Amino acid sequence: MIVSYLLSSGSLASASLAQLVTFAILARALGPAEFGLFVQITAVTAIAVQICGLGASDCLLRRVSREPGSYPSLLGHNLLLIGFTGLLIVFGGVTAMSSWPHIDTDVSTIAMLFVGNVVLVRVILLVETVFLSLGEVRSANRSVVGFALMRMATAAIACIVFGASSLSEWAIWQFCGHLLYTLVAAAWLRPLGRPRFVILREELRLGILFSSQFVVRAVRSNVDLFVIGMLAPVETVGSYGVARRIMDSSYLSIDAFNRLVYPRFARASRDGLYLALPAAKRSLGAALALGIATFLVLFVLAPYLPLLFGRDYHDLTFFVRCLSGTIVLVGAWAVAVDLLGASGRQGARALILNSTNILGSGLIAAATWFAAPIGTFVALYVIEGSVVISAWLVLLELSRRSRQDAAAPTARVLSEPLSP
């Protein structure tokens, strides 16, 4: 497990570093105003990519890790849903964003950003999920690192070599890079077998529940950007957007751990949720340690970030230091909700994440409107803490019920009189 985590965290750390360099290149080349515009559009695509595919990747990871023979039908199920939902999302997203008062760019730029950041990214992420479900962690790591390096190389070539300095120019380069990597990823999956194109109706409900958790969380994670974008200058939006991107990258230290334990949770909980609870408690300690270490690194390095992204991002250090502590809380609740999801209890997981994030979206919007940015930070910590408490209370209660259900048949057998 330790070796697997080192490989997984090493790959995601490499991907995170490459992503950080990519943001630095774009922030310098586009400038605070154009980069702030890019941040606002990608905030919408970050929500849309969670809708694309209707959460079908969860059933692929869960079922293929248990039954590898189900891979062809589950792959086809995913591809069909990505295609259907992707078309609707791109059409609806381009229509909505082209009339958005704060978005000053042409329709073709928005369309390329939506196709590249939603449909193509969802297919690329599916490749990683396939390899994880089959236990091929090295191939999954290769997919993650390769995608990050491709984006970094695309940004370097576009902005440094060819001097791209506007969002419309970057949209073309990003779309071509994502398309090329999608074709490479498809070639990696080809030896695993052809997909069987079928919609698995029994998985639609669970997939929608799974997807809804990330959609609502993405809304909550970006509502502050929307409100700040209406209240603050676009240069401040650029600084806050960079800080948020840094925090998103820092969560990879937790993701590297969770992507390893999720299939293990799925196997351990197959005969009862309570059987996986000891592993979850051990994983909690490791996740907290990773979160604290990441928090300390971000807090110490925050003053040096303007040297990387540019001195025009004046508030970057303050934003990063205020946001860095949230990763400890994320590590605390991620283990609990992952065990709920791996055991097939997507309803309970969706109830926890959706309710807290829906209420949290309103809280963040109100706090940002009346007392930005301090109110925004306070609201974020309140929400993450609420998720920690509710997730572990629900997990412990469901584990108690699972243990009782498992003990009930044994108790009935022992209470029956012996036949003569």
The per-residue pLDDT for range 327-367, each reduced to its tens digit, is 999 999 999 988 998 888 878 888 888 888 788 878 888 88
**What is the band of 172 on the pLDDT scale with cuts at 50, 70, 90?**
very high
Per-residue confidence (pLDDT) for residue 32, from 0 to 100: 73
Q: How far apart are the first and last CA of the chain?
A: 52
The per-residue pLDDT for range 199-215, each reduced to its tens digit, is 888 888 878 887 777 77
The per-residue pLDDT for range 97-118, each reduced to its tens digit, is 877 766 667 888 889 999 999 9
- Which distant-in-sequence residues (6+ apart) come within 8 Å of 47 by Cβ? 215, 218, 219, 222
Is a pLDDT exceeding 70 seen at residue 398? Answer: yes
Per-residue confidence (pLDDT) for residue 98, from 0 to 100: 78
Alpha helices per DSSP H over 134-276 = 137-155, 167-189, 201-231, 234-250, 252-268
Name the pTM for this structure.
Answer: 0.66
Is a pLDDT exceeding 50 seen at residue 420? Answer: no
More confident position, 220 or 144 = 144
Percentage of the residues of the chain whose pLDDT score is greater than 70: 87
Q: Decide: 398 and 340 in contact? Cβ < 8 Å.
A: yes
Q: What is the mean pLDDT of the chain?
A: 82
Give me the long-range contacts of 62-69 (CB less than 8 A, separation at least 24).
62/133, 62/266, 62/341, 62/342, 62/344, 63/133, 64/130, 64/133, 64/134, 65/132, 65/133, 65/134, 65/135, 65/263, 65/266, 65/267, 66/266, 66/267, 66/270, 68/134
